[in-house]
């Protein structure tokens, strides 16, 4: 499965730095990923929903580490490009 598009919507809401939508093979999209600023850098949070007990449950997530790394790398590269473009304007 190949990442064919990543769309970034920047945010400045505490540690939340952006929302991302990612498209696979030009035919399947996952919306609502988040770029979060952690203590050691940025990371990607999968789309989730709040459960009735107040905890969160991922709605969509990769099954293995290779796919997780592919998604995170594609989203963070797009985020970095969008941040560079914002500062260039």
What is the model's pLDDT at position 83? Answer: 75
| Coil, strand or helix at 56 | strand
How many DSSP H helices and E strands does the chain contain?
1, 6
Q: Are 33 and 47 in contact (CB under 8 A)?
A: yes
Q: Are 31 and 39 in contact (CB under 8 A)?
A: no
What is the model's pLDDT at position 85? Answer: 58
Q: What is the pLDDT along the chain (89 residues), one digit of tens a residue?
A: 899 999 999 998 999 999 999 999 999 999 999 999 999 999 999 999 999 999 999 999 999 999 999 999 999 999 999 876 555 44
- The domains located in the chain, with CATH, are 3-88 (3.30.1120.40)
């Amino acid at each position: 499965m190949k990442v064919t598009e990543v769309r970034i919507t920047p945010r400045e809401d505490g540690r939340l730095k952006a929302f991302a939508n990612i498209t696979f093979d030009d035919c399947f999209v996952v919306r609502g990923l988040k770029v979060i600023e952690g203590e050691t850098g940025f990371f990607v949070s999968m789309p989730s929903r709040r459960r009735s007990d107040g905890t969160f449950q991922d709605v969509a997530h990769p099954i293995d580490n290779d796919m997780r790394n592919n998604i995170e790398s594609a989203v963070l590269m797009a985020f970095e490009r969008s941040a560079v473009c914002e500062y260039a304007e």
